Amino acid sequence: MPLSPAALFLMEDSSDSSDSDMDELLDDDMEDTVVLVAVKELADRQKKVRGGSKVGRLCIPRNRKLGNDLLMRDYFAEVPTYPPHLFRRRYRMRRSLFNKIVRTCETNTRYFKRKRNAAGLLGFSAHQKISAVMRILAYGIPADYADEYLRIGEDTSMESVRRFCKVMIRMYGPVYLRAPNEQDTVRLMAQNEARGWPGMLGSIDCMHWTWKNCPKAYQGIYCGKSHDPTIILEAVASEDLWIWHCFFGLPGSLNDINVLHRSHLLARLASGDAPACNYTVNGHDYTMGYYLADGIYPEWSTFVKTIRNPLSRAESEFAKAQEAARKDIERAFGVLQARFAIVRGPSRFWDKETLKDIMTTCVILHNMIIEDERDLNLEFFFDNVGTRVKPARNPDQIEAFLETYRNIENAGSHKQLQEDLIQHHWMRHGGH
């Protein structure tokens, strides 16, 4: 095996040196240095040899075309083998929405375009790759489970999941993960006022996702009260189960208060960019919307909690109404886990970035399915998304920011709002 120029240089340098001092220094070490350089280069060359050139390497002739033809005939033909209700059950969405997602992936990334390899054979189609992704997300199955039907290997399925999540977040995230704009805020407040909650924007809570393949070095951080490594999702949902806020990635050893202090839920409100929420309860005017929360959340003016031990009929009526309305977020978590079993069972991925992309993609798909399957004027619902004119800010931005946060964390406002809502619900249900 020929040596590299570095090794030859060391050998020539050792043979041409005539100084006695250099001979004393290099005689003992030069041979070892030359040997080490040669061994390292040999090892590097062996690593670069690709497995495809080895005789006897296992290569499965999967017949990709057959897998694509079966898939198209079963689900995407003009008269498919399986009717629409079975497509809806297995893909978690209607065929029209799935085809829209496939077209978006094909248009915006080369990975999902069907290409020919060096041998001239057609590769996997976008329908094959995204069908494998949906089976993994919907059923939580291992990556090689769909190989027998879709003829797609484990590595390709895993890579398809990662690429699909990136495309969905980039293309649909700004719309389906947005915070409520003016139109959304008006609609949410009108819907919740009809339910007896004027000024309410949604319900907030956290959900834990078990991380089965959490590295041992991180398990002390991610193990919480369940003694299993988990990652936390903080979310806000409305009555129609739309998830308006999604914050994922903090370790399971934290509680809801720790997550709240790190999330961006109240960032727009503190910076002055949130839409105005003006409403009146029991004769008192308020300018900040609120979220229904459980007992662990702090007594801030943006949260309304239940009364653990009600002492009067009015407090009992309020506690019952608050606990019933706060089930919106619990129902949203239940539907999200039922639709996408991958976030219900233990995750098998090793890196947290992939888990974050998967959870975010499941929330996007959840909102897309809700929008696709309800009777709603989409022109009103998505009117002026991303084009809202920001209100003028106070020139002294730091002082305005701190003042807003003091108002958010005002326990007195929290108590006053709670008392007003207690009286509001008591009068609403005919109390005297």
pTM, full prediction: 0.79
Helix H or strand E segment including 207:
strand 200-210
Q: How far apart are CA 236 and CA 327, in angstroms?
A: 11
- Same domain for 94 and 31, yes or no, is no
Of 175, 196, 213, which marks where a domain is finished?
175
Q: Where are the alpha helices (DSSP H) in 298-351?
A: 313-325, 327-339
User: In terms of DSSP bridges, do strands 230-237 and 243-251 run parallel, antiparallel, or are they unpaired?
Assistant: antiparallel
412 is a domain residue = yes
Q: Are residues 115 and 255 in the same domain?
A: no
Domain assignment present for 57: no
Q: What is the C-alpha separation between 318 and 196, in angstroms, rounded?
A: 10
Is residue 49, in this structure, part of any structural domain at all? no
Tokens 């008006």 -> residue: 186
Is residue 189 domain-shared with residue 331, that is, in the same domain? yes
CA distance 168 to 114: 19
Domain range enclosing 81: 64-175
Are 22 and 76 part of one and the same domain?
no
User: In the listed set 158, 175, 192, which residue is the last one of a domain according to the structure?
Assistant: 175
Q: How many domains does the chain have?
A: 3
Q: How many residues in total does the chain contain?
A: 432
Q: Tens-of-pLDDT digits for all 432 residues of the chain?
A: 455 554 544 455 544 444 555 455 445 555 556 556 665 666 666 555 555 545 555 677 778 888 899 999 999 999 999 999 999 999 999 999 999 999 999 999 999 998 887 777 888 999 999 999 999 999 998 888 888 889 898 889 999 999 999 999 999 999 999 999 999 999 999 999 999 999 999 999 999 999 988 888 888 899 988 788 999 999 999 999 999 999 999 999 999 999 999 999 988 888 878 888 899 998 899 988 999 999 899 999 899 999 988 888 999 999 999 999 999 999 999 999 999 999 998 888 888 899 999 999 999 999 999 999 875 444 333 333 343 334 444 556 566 656 665 767 677 787 888 888 888 888 877 665
* pLDDT at site 268: 84
367 domain-assigned: yes
Question: Which of 356, 144, 401 has its CA nearest to residue 250?
Answer: 356
Is 85 a domain residue?
A: yes
d(CA 33, CA 28): 10
Q: Are the CB atoms for 385 and 181 separated by under 8 Å? A: yes
Q: What whole-number distance in Å separates Cα of residue 108 and Cα of residue 100?
A: 12
One domain for residues 255 and 344: yes
Asked if 195 and 308 sit in the same domain, the reply is: yes
Distances (CA, A) of 270 to 180, 215, 244, 362, 396: 15, 37, 18, 28, 13
Please check whether residues 39 and 80 belong to one and the same domain.
no
Within a domain: residue 381? no
User: Which amino acid would we find at residue 429?
Assistant: H
Round to whole Å and give the CA distance between 229 and 219. Answer: 6
Question: What is the C-alpha to C-alpha distance for residues 214 and 348, in angstroms, rounded to an integer?
Answer: 9
Cβ atoms 173, 364 nearer than 8 A: yes
- Check whether residue 153 and residue 186 sit in a common domain: no
Please indicate, yes or no, whether residues 334 and 193 belong to a single structural domain of this protein: yes
Whether 52 is covered by a domain: the verdict is no
> Is 421 in contact with 315 (CB distance < 8 Å)?
no
Same domain, 224 and 369: yes
pLDDT given at position 426: 80
Do 171 and 196 share a domain, yes or no? no
The answer to whether residue 317 sits within a structural domain is yes
Q: Which of 175, 202, 229 is the last residue of a domain?
A: 175
Per-residue tokens: 163? 């690429």
Same domain, 107 and 189: no
Mutual angle of helices 313-325 and 327-339, in 10-degree steps? 20
